[in-house]
Amino acid sequence: VTSIASCVGMLPPGSGLLAEPPFRAPHHTISAAALVGGGGAAPRPGEVTRAHRGVLFADEITEFRRDALESLRQPLEEGRIAVARTRGHAVLPGRFILVAAANPCPCGFAGDPKRLCECTPMERQRYRARLSGPIRDRIDLQVTVPRQRAGELLRADVIAESSAEVRERVVAARERQQTRRPRGPLNGALTGTQLRHDAVLDRPSRALLEVAAERLHLSGRAVHRVLRVARTIADLGGSIDVDQSHVAEALQYRESG
Amino acid sequence: MLTTVLARALSGTLFGLEGVRVEVEADIADGLPGFHIVGLGDRALQEARERVKIAINNSGFQFPGRRVTVNLAPAQLPKEGTAFDLAMAAAIVNAADDRSLPQDEAWLGELALDGAVRPIRGTLAIAAHLDRLGVQRLYVPAANVAEARIATAAPVVGIQHLRDLKSYWEEGAPLPAQEPTEPPPASTTAVAVDLADIRGQAHAKRALEIAAAGAHHLLLVGPPGAGKTFPESCRRWVTSSRSR
């Protein structure tokens, strides 16, 4: 399936199956048609479809055009996109991992411990609103990346984990998902029914999730997303069941949004 | 006296990401010399008239000096692109010599003016579709052979130049299909940044790991220069763990 590349002319001549998932990073001035697919008369795949089974990276997501961003709703939820054009319509695949980056406010320093944010509350609010609730709601993991102190940056003695180590865990987690559902989706795309089956909560973790949902005003969809993330965290830890610590970590990635 | 001759060649195009079967019919009739293409073609297809005509003349064939009409069926489906060039040339050359083409063979490829066959987009999807329809032999641009072979078990013949087809059409000597070779895997990109090179940001890295493991969406929020974009450079690396 990944050789969608062939249709959009991205396959290098003479090559066989692609071994590497796609990575697409459209610029934020992209139009809705280019993002989800459009074209003159016949439907033509856009960035969403090119990123199928890979990563769609949206840097400065708040700078994207409103209509382009909102057009991501369907693929984010369903993994495909229906494109209607004058001369017929097509449903194109588009199951990607969205990785987005944004500033917290126009000047960029809201929430920074050292530097004062120069924006008015109004400006901040308007800026945040560019990433609409429905889109925000569909993003499983929301993380604040603080600025690093120079001292921290220059310290050479701390050895962080290498990509290879992390990758090993990721591969193992993926394998666990595959054993559970040999043909099924990865955790991020599990349906509600599948989720109820795969991520059974014990009593304390259920209570935790209920309280958190209440306090954070989580939507039904958001609760499901937390569950999916918790399932993945459990897989990364090699655990068969989803327990309280997994749910707690998954919830962390909701609050900052 | 026979005043009109007809030949058909099978081809295909893309609609969305699906292959579609297209039948190319060429009719040669008495009348003012001319070349017409009907069947809802786009601009690239209208320009195919020049490409196909010149390519035929430059490959040791003779473009008929009569009224040539090419129809692309189904006629109501809008068609675009250059993948029909080879099929058009096949239909015209064989109509001119009053031969018919096997209807279980299909032709894909764009023609250069000198008759060379250029690669097209979507060979894989089109070949897969033609395979389902029971096509027994596929003629594709040499550069698209590996792709086509993924999609079909039928023999795939890579064509470098329109001239290569002369002996097949005029003497019936079949062209050999390329030996199935293991296609070279598409190149993998080397990634310069390692997660270990990123200072701090343990939280973000962990989120990245979770996103990669379970295919979750991820949003990073932070001040300029904090390194939100940085994880992206190694992002590729983490996800390349999965095949398919």
* pLDDT tier, A148 (very low <50, low <70, confident <90, very high otherwise): low
- What average pLDDT does the segment B72-99 reach? 84
Residues in Cβ contact with B202 at an 8 Å cutoff, skipping those fewer than 6 apart: A160
The partner residues of A143 in beta bridges, in order of sequence, read B220
* pLDDT tier, A15 (very low <50, low <70, confident <90, very high otherwise): very low
Whether pLDDT at A20 is above 50: yes
Query: Taking the CB of residue B81, how many other CB atoms lie within 10 A of it?
Result: 18
Ramachandran category for residue B200: left, alpha or beta (phi over 0 → left; psi -120 to 50 → alpha): left
Q: Average the pLDDT over each of A239-243, B160-164, B189-193, B203-207 and give the range with the smallest value.
A: B189-193
Q: What pLDDT, on the 0 to 100 scale, is given for residue A9?
A: 46
pTM, two decimals, is 0.69
Residue A158 at interface with chain B, using a CB cutoff of 8 Å: yes
Q: What pLDDT, on the 0 to 100 scale, is given for residue A3?
A: 46
Interface probe, candidates A2, A8, A11, chain B, greatest B C-beta count within 10 A: A11
Q: Kindly list the residues from chain B whose CB atom is less than 8 angstroms away from the CB atom of residue A231.
A: 214
Whether pLDDT at B67 is above 80: yes
- Considering only CB atoms, A236 lies closest to which of B119, B125, B210, namely B210
Q: Average the pLDDT over each of A132-141, A159-168, B88-97 and give the range with the smallest value.
A: A159-168
Q: What is chain A's mean pLDDT, rounded?
A: 73
Whether pLDDT at A255 is above 50: yes
- Please work out, in degrees rounded to the nearest 5, the angle formed at the alpha carbon of residue B117 by the alpha carbons of B112 and B119: 105
Residue A134 at interface with chain B, using a CB cutoff of 8 Å: no
Residue B17 at interface with chain A, using a CB cutoff of 8 Å: yes
Q: What is chain B's mean pLDDT, rounded?
A: 76
Residues in Cβ contact with A121 at an 8 Å cutoff, skipping those fewer than 6 apart: none
Whether pLDDT at A160 is above 80: no
The residue among A8, A13, A94 whose CA lies nearest residue A54 is A94
ipTM of the complex: 0.78
Q: What pLDDT, on the 0 to 100 scale, is given for residue B197?
A: 60
